Chains A and B, each alone.
Chain A
């Protein structure tokens, strides 16, 4: 008993000591106090040099916390108790957060870099007039192929994936909306359809793809593709950029007949506190030189037209990540669907997974 008590006291003392020293560390690194900005971002989704540069220019220290899915971010902000000044949701999540009254409108009079953005990436259906969101990066859904196993001409369109040549060769990203969307495009339907008949037809179509599907995986798809585990993958351009950087046999194609156009956006959650820092940061990030530096680091496509002009020609003319205007015109932005409709997509998709 005595030993137990002393053990417990010892543990408590260690915990107390750790808590004290971590609070001391935080204070000395300047992460508490007024000259800060709390940024809630995806992992490794900003050039760290820019954060240092921002602090040098404005004096604000940026605390970055990361999340790995829109849903996780939503849950955390919705439950409160956090003080994020800026978050980076994808487009459908902006609409959802807006409806849940979790966002504050942007004060356009304090934004100085708005004219730098390409108008075709503004005023989208998820946030008309960009009242709440400033685009951060955009991208597409497409096909990644390995030129050791597949010729470019064999995989230019979604329908090519159904070819019996690719038996057990294809990896799919585990995302109901994207995989169902791909099947819908091959059937000339909208990626936002909520017609149960059309979704059923899409599931039937996917079931016919099943023999070609090697696996349905998440993040680890990047590692598999880099290691030549599969010949073809269906994934987002952002993930593709990372795969291509690790394996030069890989290439990315956005099928010209249509695909998804996605946006990640900077928004101000309801719980924000440091408004001067927020607007300083938004203006800093929309400066062409900074946006271009960030785009070069992350490898995603920037919606900032002046920043794109600053990128090397090989990057800005890369049709993999900056597709032609004709292809862009066929891209579709996901509309935020009601939970019942999302369920419809997920149920059909689950059936396909069971079938596969």
Chain B
């Protein structure tokens, strides 16, 4: 009886997985083996790996995703750490999360307003005597906006990891004579590393295929794999090639997941 009931509970979950996770991925892989004439082929893959354009684009995407993740991490860890010390920390956390409720497109347009020739940023630069600069359509502005958008997704897991950290460890470390820095380096940081890893996963993967921002803020000066996918699906209607790039991204995702994944604790490492 109980056995049957467990099965029943599994049905919606199984259906969900099959329909919205397995089927789309399978379809993408299937599509990637067809050329424009709907012939079965692996030419999409050979094109991809032989084309300097695509390889350069891949390197570009990885490089920018790395930079975005790095800056996001550098900002998010201290932020999460100090947020965690505050009295009404759930409230402050809510304020940090709030921007994610706003559509990404709206945020991008807001930044266009801030960074444009007559925008706030340039008004300020003029006011302090530097004079207006070209801010939009630079790599720096692209990384800035992407980092801004990704920050909440990094803060949240780190904050949760800090929350899970047993304060007894920190106290013990202090009692045993460790300095603040030593406590942080030897106790707090290693124990919150899983949160950082989860944050890296949540930020790095979407950053690989950002395409709206590359156009709106970057003015297409930064070309990532997302740009190519958009073009293949919408303009050339070469779904095969678009899917191939999608598969490459999925593989990249698996690699990142493995690299940042939870290694099983070996021996006596405390968890």
Question: Which residue numbers of A lie inside 8 Å of B, CB to CB?
Answer: 69, 71-72, 168, 171, 174, 176, 214-218, 220, 223-224, 227-229, 339-340, 342-343, 346-347, 350-351, 353-354, 356
Contact = CB atoms under 8 A, between A and B. Distances in A.
Nearest to A230: B117
B236 A168 contact: no
Interface in B218-271: 219-221, 223, 227-228, 231, 234-238
The residue among A216, A218, A353 with the most chain B CB atoms within 10 A of its own CB is: A353
Given A69-B234, A215-B220, A217-B216, A343 B36 contact: yes
Given A168-B134, A174-B215, A356 B220 contact: yes
Interface string B184-225: 000000000000000000000000000000011001110100
Contacts of A214: 134, 137, 219
A207 to B, nearest CB: 13
Contacts of B228: 350
17 contacts: A71-B234, A71-B235, A72-B234, A215-B221, A217-B215, A218-B215, A220-B216, A227-B117, A228-B118, A343-B236, A346-B231, A346-B236, A350-B53, A350-B231, A351-B53, A353-B220, A354-B56
B57 interface: yes
B interface, how many residues as a size bin? 20 to 34
B104 to A, nearest CB: 14
Nearest to B233: A71
B57 A342 contact: no
B75 interface: no
Q: Which has the most chain B C-beta neighbours within 10 Å: A339, A346, A354?
A: A354
Contacts of B219: 171, 214-217
B183 interface: no
B136 A229 contact: yes
A227 B116 contact: yes
In order of increasing CB-CB distance, the 9 nearest A-B pairs are A215-B219, A216-B220, A215-B137, A339-B36, A346-B236, A343-B236, A71-B234, A354-B223, A229-B117
B220 A176 contact: no
A176 B235 contact: yes
B221 A346 contact: no
Nearest to B219: A215
Contact of B237 (A71, A216, A217, A354): A71
Interface secondary structure of B, over-half rule:
loop
Contacts of A342: 235-237
Contacts of B121: none
Nearest to A177: B235
Contacts of B237: 71, 339, 342
B216 A339 contact: no
Contacts of A340: 36
Nearest to A228: B117
B50 to A, nearest CB: 13
Given A215-B219, A217-B220, A218-B215, A229 B116 contact: yes
A223 B113 CA distance: 10
B111 to A, nearest CB: 12
Interface string B14-52: 000000000000000000000010000000000000000
A176 B109 CA distance: 24
Nearest to B57: A354
A174 B134 contact: no
Contacts of A350: 53, 223, 228, 231
B44 to A, nearest CB: 12
B43 to A, nearest CB: 12
B12 to A, nearest CB: 11
B215 A227 contact: no
A313 B112 CA distance: 38
Nearest to A345: B236
Nearest to A356: B221
Contacts of A351: 53
B118 A346 contact: no
A205 B36 CA distance: 28
B88 to A, nearest CB: 27
A155 to B, nearest CB: 20
Given A71-B234, A176-B231, A350-B53, 4 more contacts: A72-B234, A168-B134, A218-B215, A223-B112
Contacts of B134: 168, 214
Contacts of A171: 219
The listed residue with most B CB atoms (<10 A of its CB), out of A168, A228, A350, is A350
Contacts of B136: 215, 229
A356 B139 CA distance: 12
A86 B60 CA distance: 44
Contacts of B215: 174, 216-218
B222 to A, nearest CB: 10
A229 B112 CA distance: 10
Contacts of B36: 339-340, 343
